Chains A and B, each alone.
Chain A
Amino acid sequence: MTGVIEPIIGRYLTVDIAGRPHRIYFEENGAGPPVLCLHTAGADTRQWRHILNDSAFSSDHRIIAFDMPWHGKSLPPEGFETEEYLLTTDCYIETVLRVADTLELDKPVLAGCSMGGRIALQIAALHPGRFSGFVAIEASDFQPAWYDIDWFHRPDAHGGEMGAALVSANIAPHAPTAERWNTLWMFMQSGPGVFRGDLSFYTKDESLVANIGRIDTKVAPVHILCGEYDLTCTPEDATRTHRAIPGSSLEIMTELGHFPMSENPARFRPYFARALAIVTGGKTAVGTEAA
């Protein structure tokens, strides 16, 4: 057999973030109401490869994912070579909004995982009118690190390999071996100091705790998904966050961990379909069969 070409299309856009131009890589597939997807710390858009390729979603949605600056195929800004990368809430929100504006997305659904889920909830609190709904995956109001983030940026060791070994704790034992290692490979490839800079945001910025009461699910619905094997954002963390957002919904995903769309795409698929159906008011035609 000859090779197979996937339907995903990748392109680049340039936007100003914090007053500086950033070249950002994005991928998309499908047509219909847009769904903008955010990757986790220390990884990139490849985490969404199965959802992007899934015709059950792309047949009636425009699925889009982009690499955050410093991640994947998005470059760091000019002058990065002397900077310490530390992601901030303000910079993260500006990045998501600028990308959505440049792509001229009309009230997309925002679906983010881990730090992407955290920023989705921040945007739900601070910019509720910009999105039609929020799917917050492995997301919570806040949890401090159970590790030392400085482990992952040292001159005497490979931060990517250590980061991958650490986050393997968050993958369920049910993950297919190939997808487990595809998921870990992204962390191994992460640029020096990038995972640490993401974790600085994820494990030190508590600002969502004060903002979470501002989320109005009547303006835009919020659905939270959490894998039962996630050691970083545990089901307890997700449940606490769900209870702090009146009108939100929560589903604990069995046999899944912190990277559900990447570590075990077949298992994640029905959960994501249900999530989309919930935040779009059931308008989606995607099947919602149980796993």
Chain B
Amino acid sequence: MSDTPALLPTLERIAERLDARPHLLRMGALFSETVLMEIDDDCYYLTFHRGRIEKIAHGRNRKTPWRFAIRTDADALERFWQVQPAPGFHDLFGLVKLGRASIDGDILSLVKNLRFFKELLAIPREEERA
């Protein structure tokens, strides 16, 4: 685990921007779970309550239960967040297909909230576009 939570500012900005997107909050209204994002060896636990990110905890903690985990690397995320990503880097499942990400745990929970999650993760890309 690294000492510097490199992605924390980006994830916090996603949480902040999410609050200003009523359509996403509407879509995520039934989503109250903790999601693990593991970037390289860095762990971030995102706790959602009715579509809002209420808490982001940094650092691996085996006592924190999570519903599903997305594991990827910082370079893949940087490419994912480009305004016009290269083929495969344009979508979460594209990263998985490229072997640059994996999804574990209750994948159906992700699929039931897939549009919410994809648009949430793409917020930095949309900000670049704007």
Determine whether the beta carbon of B91 is less than 8 Å from that of A231: yes
With both chains docked as a complex, state the minimum distance between the C-beta of A254 and any C-beta of chain B, in angstroms.
10
Determine whether the beta carbon of B97 is less than 8 Å from that of A231: yes
Please give me the residue from chain B that is nearest to A162 by CB atom: B111
Q: Which residues of A contact B112 (CB under 8 A)?
A: 157, 162
Determine whether the beta carbon of B87 is less than 8 Å from that of A228: yes
B118 at the binding interface (Cβ < 8 Å): yes
User: What is the 8 Å Cβ interface bit string for chain B, positions 86-123, against chain A (1 contact, 0 not)?
Assistant: 01101111101100000000001001101100100000
User: What is the 8 Å Cβ interface bit string for chain A, positions 2-43, against chain B (1 contact, 0 not)?
Assistant: 000000000000000000000000000000000000000000
User: What is the 8 Å Cβ interface bit string for chain A, positions 125-168, against chain B (1 contact, 0 not)?
Assistant: 00000000000000000000011000100000100011011101
A85 to B108, CA, bound (A): 22
| CB contact under 8 A between A151 and B92, given known A162-B114, A231-B97 | no
A169 to B121, CA, bound (A): 13
Q: Which residues of B contact A162 (CB under 8 A)?
A: 111-112, 114
Q: Which residues of A contact B115 (CB under 8 A)?
A: 161, 164-165, 168
A174 to B97, CA, bound (A): 20
Determine whether the beta carbon of A231 is less than 8 Å from that of B93: yes
A99 to B87, CA, bound (A): 37
Q: How large is the interface on B (under 10, 10 to 19, 20 to 34, 35 or more residues)?
A: 10 to 19
A96 at the binding interface (Cβ < 8 Å): no
Determine whether the beta carbon of B84 is less than 8 Å from that of A231: no
| CB contact under 8 A between A231 and B85, given known A151-B108, A157-B112, A169-B94 | no
30 pairs from A and B in contact (CB 8 Å cutoff): A146-B93, A146-B96, A147-B93, A151-B108, A157-B112, A161-B115, A162-B111, A162-B112, A162-B114, A164-B115, A165-B114, A165-B118, A166-B93, A166-B111, A169-B90, A169-B91, A169-B93, A172-B87, A172-B90, A173-B83, A173-B84, A173-B85, A174-B84, A228-B87, A229-B87, A231-B88, A231-B91, A231-B93, A231-B94, A231-B97
Known A169-B92, A172-B87; 9 more pairs at CB < 8 Å? A162-B111, A162-B112, A165-B118, A166-B114, A169-B90, A169-B93, A173-B90, A228-B87, A231-B91
B interface vs A, CB < 8 Å?
Answer: 83-85, 87-88, 90-94, 96-97, 108, 111-112, 114-115, 118
Give the 6 A-B CB pairs with smallest separation, nearest first: A165-B114, A169-B91, A165-B115, A169-B93, A157-B112, A229-B87
